[in-house]
Structures are given as C-alpha cells and as structure tokens.
Chain A
Amino acid sequence: RKEVEQDPGPFNVPEGATVAFNCTYSNSASQSFFWYRQDCRKEPKLLMSVYSSGNEDGRFTAQLNRASQYISLLIRDSKLSDSATYLCAVNGDTGRRALTFGSGTRLQVQP
C-alpha cells in the first residue's frame, strides 16, 4: 500500500459546485496532516492544516478520520481559480517532520 494515496482525477466540476477529495495514509502513527494546492509547475502552497476536530477556512473544510486513516477536503461554491492540483501531505511519527506527499488530485472548474 502506498504511504499516501489520492485519486488523481481529474475532477471536472461546474462553477458553484461542491467537490470533495479524500486522501488515505498508511502510517497509523502519523501526527500532522496538511492540504496544499499546486498550480502547474509551481510550488506547493499551503491551503490548510487538518486538525483532529475538523476545521474550516472560508469555502474549504478539512476533516481527519484517524480510525479509517484518511483526510478529506471539501470545497464549496467552486471558483474557476480553484482549478489546480490538490496535494495531501502527512508527516510521520512524533517528532518527524519530513512530509510525505500524495500524487495529488487534479481539479478543473469549468464555467
């Protein structure tokens, strides 16, 4: 099983739609979880950290399910500018900071 796994997509959605991505991770000792967005040939940009209780930032909601070892990202009211690749990143055991990235899920928001 891959360490961090994502559906590559693409997810093609109309503007205004709600879309959700999942990301599964294999290391049950993982402590920290993040969503990044990456535009073509650019750097990963931090979208949000994922907290145990779930967290929301505007149109974006992140959830963590430790029992099933996945994190999710929900985007409401999609904008054209949301078109990007969404990367989940997980770090390992307590004290380890190296991030393991998924391959990313590509989102294309269409007018």
Chain B
Amino acid sequence: EPEVTQTPSHQVTQMGQEVILRCVPISNHLYFYWYRQILGQKVEFLVSFYNNEISEKSEIFDDQFSVERPDGSNFTLKIRSTKLEDSAMYFCASSPRQLSNQPQHFGDGTRLSIL
C-alpha cells in the first residue's frame, strides 16, 4: 500500500537554527498538509498546499514557517528560527482528490527536539 514517507525520523536542533523537514506524499495525491503534535497534546493543523500554493493555514503557521514543493515528489516544511516550543512531532499528510471529504493519510512523523 502506498504511503507517505518523512525524513528525518528525529531531528535535534539548537534554538534559533533553521530546520527543514521533508516529506514524500503518496504519488497520485494532490493535496499536502503539515500537522504537529506537541507531546501529550492533540494533533494540530498547520498548513495545506495545493497546486503549488498554500490553500489554508492556521494561526500557528506564522512567518517563521514556510512550505515548498521543490520538485515533483518532495514537500518540505521549513522553520526559520526555531524556538523551544517548536519541539513536537511533525506529521505530513496527503489526500488524493479535490473533494474535501477525501481522507488524509499521514506519514510516520519527524520528532523535532529543540535544545
């Protein structure tokens, strides 16, 4: 079964450093998403991306965050100047078609630890 893949599985970074999290969505999917989950808390939406542009973003997704699809397969989340509170699991997800009732399939996440 096709799956969303994410790298790295664990990233440790000093506060203030930039970090890039990578995702390869399922190949025929059109919508891509980033979510995060702080330890012990709920999964929170960050951003969705379609047709090479952001289609929705949450209040969490401020100016320190950006997303990009640099080539035909990768989808990245960049955090420009990391803060301690950015420590979380970051999940990439994708969904197949335009209809909003299509379920989202999640990758196994990147654990980001900010020191």
Interface set of A (CB-CB < 8 Å, partner B):
31-32, 34, 36, 38, 41-46, 49, 87, 89, 91, 94-104
A98 touches B48 (CB 8 A): yes
CA distance A101 to B43 in the complex (A): 6
Number of interchain pairs (Cβ within 8 Å): 60
A46 touches B43 (CB 8 A): no
Q: Is the interface of B mostly helix, strand, loop or mixed?
A: strand
- The smallest C-beta distance from B1 to any residue of chain A, in angstroms, reads 11
CA distance A22 to B95 in the complex (A): 25
CA distance A5 to B100 in the complex (A): 21
A101 proximity list for chain B (CB < 8 A): 42-44
**Which single residue of chain B is at the shortest CB-CB distance from A91?**
B100
A43 touches B91 (CB 8 A): yes
CA distance A59 to B35 in the complex (A): 29
B100 proximity list for chain A (CB < 8 A): 31-32, 91, 94-97
The answer, yes or no, to whether B31 is at the interface (CB within 8 Å) is yes
**Which single residue of chain A is at the shortest CB-CB distance from B108?**
A43
B105 touches A98 (CB 8 A): no
**Which single residue of chain A is at the shortest CB-CB distance from B6?**
A43
B28 proximity list for chain A (CB < 8 A): none
A34 touches B42 (CB 8 A): no
- The smallest C-beta distance from A64 to any residue of chain B, in angstroms, reads 12
B104 touches A99 (CB 8 A): yes
- The smallest C-beta distance from A82 to any residue of chain B, in angstroms, reads 19
- The smallest C-beta distance from B63 to any residue of chain A, in angstroms, reads 19
- The smallest C-beta distance from B23 to any residue of chain A, in angstroms, reads 12
A46 touches B105 (CB 8 A): yes
- The smallest C-beta distance from B34 to any residue of chain A, in angstroms, reads 11
Which 6 pairs across A and B sit closest by C-beta, in order of nearness? Answer: A32-B101, A98-B45, A101-B43, A43-B106, A103-B42, A43-B108
B35 proximity list for chain A (CB < 8 A): 99
Mark out the residues of chain B between 62 and 115 whose CB falls within 8 Å of any chain A CB in the assembled complex. Answer: 89, 91, 95, 100-101, 103-109
